[in-house]
């Protein structure tokens, strides 16, 4: 049996068990509401795999990653988060267009959940697709310690595949005894590429193989839950089709250069036809960082005969669109957003707490990045932009730094309409857009979800060191 299938199943079992045992007063809740409790607590998990010992982690539901949450599109969910960590936390439902009060941003949309306390999140999931959840309180440490999980919203009619698998990819900085290195948020990580680790896991574990069967078609949901690592995945001798980005359907297409690039927080749903023969083995490589390529896992074909005759080329269907408002680009209001700071940057000063301060003062406060000249401390500040509800906007994002930044907007999905001045081929809907050094991109959306929404870099060390702001929709 496929190891990730087993994992997925035990993960699903985890949710059911939690809902049943810790479970929740179903009272006053309609039939269509799914309820579950998610406990955030210290735990132990076998991250590096034998012969290494297990690792002290922080986790949801006693496991890393946390239980995979599954609901149907349009379904309502009630999640009671119970905090048994030694510090405050919150949970953010990354990519799900929730009402502002359910967005999980400490001090901005809710008070953080104190140790021993609970918070009830309840919302409807308007879009089908692959999402994830993680704390938004000191996330550069809490996510790194293992607090994250997949959140799948199923289409009304499931895609016709043999298996639907999730790979939550993570990157850990482990010591020789497999413990997590405690140098969170050190100035070097913060001012360069963020915290890169030395151990990459699929669903919380270093894996050697994904057992597959010749002829089967797999829908693979890739989630990058790493603090800072960018993945560039190549499936040797296989031809993946990208069918969704950040949960949102896209015209099925082969990845550019045959490589699926995912910055932190980004997702891709791919369709993978197992065109190899029984007994064969193929590598899945991560080739993003030149000189640091490595084998992520092998696709290992079992000996069973193919499920269907090979070489019949099969079409890849387009997923049904989600109910997103189409931006009116011709009449959209435009704004520029400039990302600055970091090592090898030109930033000499920035606005902190409303006044201009020099780089030394910024660094003294743990800040090295800025958006439009403002280095954000904490989650509450003057909005970067105030947008009028239901109007269309085009934001031009300009990366004026020597580092990549996956920029994430809460509460909305947006189209990426241009990249370095050229129109994008698929005008993909996403919630996170990756800007490599000195790149620019135009994003377009309708500001249709009222509230104060975070807009930040999802390299969590960059976020913690100032690359964060709020966009207000009134
Ligand atoms: Cu994935 Cu502001 O978060
Ligand atoms: Cu960044």
In this prediction, residue 307 carries a pLDDT of: 87
> Do 406 and 335 share a structural domain?
yes
CA of 122 to the centre of ligand 2 (A): 30
In this prediction, residue 344 carries a pLDDT of: 81
- Supply the residue whose CA is at minimum distance from atom 3 of ligand 1: 94
Q: Nearest-CA neighbor of 276 among 348, 218, 205? A: 218
Over range 160-164, report the average pLDDT. 96
Is pLDDT above 70 for 383? yes
Residue ending a domain, choose from 154, 181, 205: 154
Q: For residue 142, give the ligand nearest its CA.
A: 1
How many angstroms from the chain centroid is the CA of residue 140? 13
Residue 87: domain span: 34-154
CA of 207 to the centre of ligand 2 (A): 29
Ligand 1 atom closest to Cα of 432? 1
Q: How many structural domains is the chain composed of?
A: 3
The CATH number for 145's domain is 2.60.40.420
Using DSSP's 3-state secondary structure scheme, residue 3 falls into helix
Is pLDDT above 50 for 276? yes
List, as one string, the DSSP characters of 115-148.
TT-EEEEEEE--S-EEEEEE--SSHHHHTTTT--
Q: Classify burial at 308, counting beta carbons within 10 Å of its beta carbon; exposed 0-12, middle 13-18, buried 19 or more.
A: middle
Quickly state the pLDDT bin for 286 (edges 50, 70, 90).
very high
CA angle 161, 429, 190 (to 5 degrees): 105
The rounded distance, in Å, linking the Cα atoms of 368 and 349 is 9
Kindly list the protein residues whose Cβ atom lies closer than 6 A to any atom of ligand 1. 92, 94, 134, 136, 265, 408, 410, 454, 456, 458
> Do 458 and 349 share a structural domain?
yes
In this prediction, residue 308 carries a pLDDT of: 83
Q: Compute the 3-state secondary structure of the chain and give helix, strand, coil in percent, each to the nearest 5.
A: 10, 40, 45
Mean pLDDT of all residues belonging to the chain: 92
8 vs 254, more confident: 254
Is pLDDT above 70 for 19? no
52-105 per-position pLDDT tens digit? 999 999 999 999 999 999 999 999 999 999 999 999 999 999 999 999 999 999
Quickly state the pLDDT bin for 345 (edges 50, 70, 90).
confident
With a pLDDT cut of 70, the percent of the chain lying above it is: 93
20-34 per-position pLDDT tens digit? 333 333 333 445 789
> Do 434 and 391 share a structural domain?
yes
Place of tokens 């001045």: 421
Q: For residue 409, give the ligand nearest its CA.
A: 1
In this prediction, residue 347 carries a pLDDT of: 83
Which residues are in the CB-under-5-Å shell of ion ligand 2?
405, 457, 459, 462
Is pLDDT above 50 for 402? yes
In this prediction, residue 322 carries a pLDDT of: 98
> Do 397 and 335 share a structural domain?
yes
437-454 per-position pLDDT tens digit? 999 999 999 999 999 999
In this prediction, residue 310 carries a pLDDT of: 64
Q: How many CA atoms lie within 13 A of 204 on its CB side?
A: 31
> Do 182 and 142 share a structural domain?
no
Q: For residue 267, give the ligand nearest its CA.
A: 1
- Phi and psi (nearest 5°) for 227? -60, -40
CA of 466 to the centre of ligand 2 (A): 9
> Do 179 and 142 share a structural domain?
no
Over range 185-191, report the average pLDDT. 94
In this prediction, residue 10 carries a pLDDT of: 34
- Supply the residue whose CA is at minimum distance from atom 1 of ligand 1: 94
Ligand 1 atom closest to Cα of 134? 1
In this prediction, residue 17 carries a pLDDT of: 35
CA angle 139, 141, 144 (to 5 degrees): 95
94-116 per-position pLDDT tens digit? 999 999 999 999 999 999 999 99
Q: Nearest-CA neighbor of 91 among 167, 170, 148? A: 148
Residue ending a domain, choose from 92, 119, 154: 154
Is pLDDT above 50 for 468? yes
300 vs 12, more confident: 300
Task: Calculate the alpha carbon distances from 348 to 150, 193, 363, 368, 373 in Å.
Answer: 40, 19, 11, 10, 10
Predicted TM-score (pTM) of the model is: 0.92
> Do 168 and 122 share a structural domain?
no
> Do 404 and 373 share a structural domain?
yes
């Amino acid at each position: 049996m496929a190891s990730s299938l087993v994992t997925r199943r035990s993960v699903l079992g985890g949710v059911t068990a939690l809902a049943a045992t810790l479970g929740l007063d179903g009272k006053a809740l309609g039939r269509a509401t799914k309820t579950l409790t998610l406990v955030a607590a210290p735990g132990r998990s076998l991250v590096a795999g034998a012969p290494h010992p297990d690792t002290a982690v922080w986790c949801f539901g006693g496991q890393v990653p946390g239980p995979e949450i599954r609901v149907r599109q349009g379904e309502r969910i009630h999640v009671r988060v119970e905090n048994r960590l030694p510090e405050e936390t919150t949970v953010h439902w990354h990519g799900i267009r929730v009402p502002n009060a359910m967005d999980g941003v400490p001090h901005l949309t809710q008070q953080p959940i104190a140790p021993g306390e609970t918070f009830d999140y309840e919302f409807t999931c308007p879009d089908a697709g692959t999402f994830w959840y993680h704390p938004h309180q000191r996330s550069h440490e809490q996510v790194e310690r293992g607090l994250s999980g997949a959140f799948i919203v199923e289409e009304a009619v499931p895609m016709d595949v043999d298996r639907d698998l999730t790979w939550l990819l993570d990157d850990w900085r482990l010591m020789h005894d497999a413990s997590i290195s405690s140098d969170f948020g050190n100035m070097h990580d913060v001012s360069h590429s963020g915290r890169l680790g030395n151990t990459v896991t699929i669903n919380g574990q270093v894996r050697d193989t994904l057992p597959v069967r010749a002829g089967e078609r797999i829908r693979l949901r890739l989630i990058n839950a790493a603090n800072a690592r960018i993945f560039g995945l190549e499936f040797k001798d296989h031809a993946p089709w990208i069918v969704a980005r950040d949960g949102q359907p896209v015209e099925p297409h082969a990845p550019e250069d045959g490589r699926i690039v995912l910055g932190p927080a980004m997702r891709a749903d791919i369709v993978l036809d197992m065109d190899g023969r029984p007994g064969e083995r193929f590598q899945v490589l991560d080739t993003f960082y030149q000189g640091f390529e490595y084998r992520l896992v092998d696709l290992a074909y079992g000996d069973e005969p193919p499920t269907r005759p090979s070489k019949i080329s099969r079409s890849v269907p387009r997923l049904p669109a989600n109910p997103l408002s189409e931006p009116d680009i011709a009449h959209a209001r435009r704004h520029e957003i400039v990302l600055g700071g970091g090592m090898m940057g030109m930033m000499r000063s920035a606005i902190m707490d409303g006044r201009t301060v020099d780089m030394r003062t910024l660094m003294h406060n743990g800040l090295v990045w800025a958006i439009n000249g403002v280095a954000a401390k904490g989650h509450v500040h003057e909005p970067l932009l105030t947008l009028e509800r239901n109007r269309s906007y085009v934001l031009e994002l300009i990366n004026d730094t020597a580092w990549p930044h996956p920029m994430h907007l809460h509460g909305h999905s947006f189209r990426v309409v241009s990249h370095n001045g050229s129109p994008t081929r698929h005008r993909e809907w996403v919630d996170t857009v990756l800007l490599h050094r000195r790149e620019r991109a135009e994003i377009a959306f309708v500001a249709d979800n009222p509230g104060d929404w975070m807009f930040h870099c999802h390299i969590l060390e960059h976020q913690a060191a100032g690359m964060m702001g709020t966009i207000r929709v009134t």
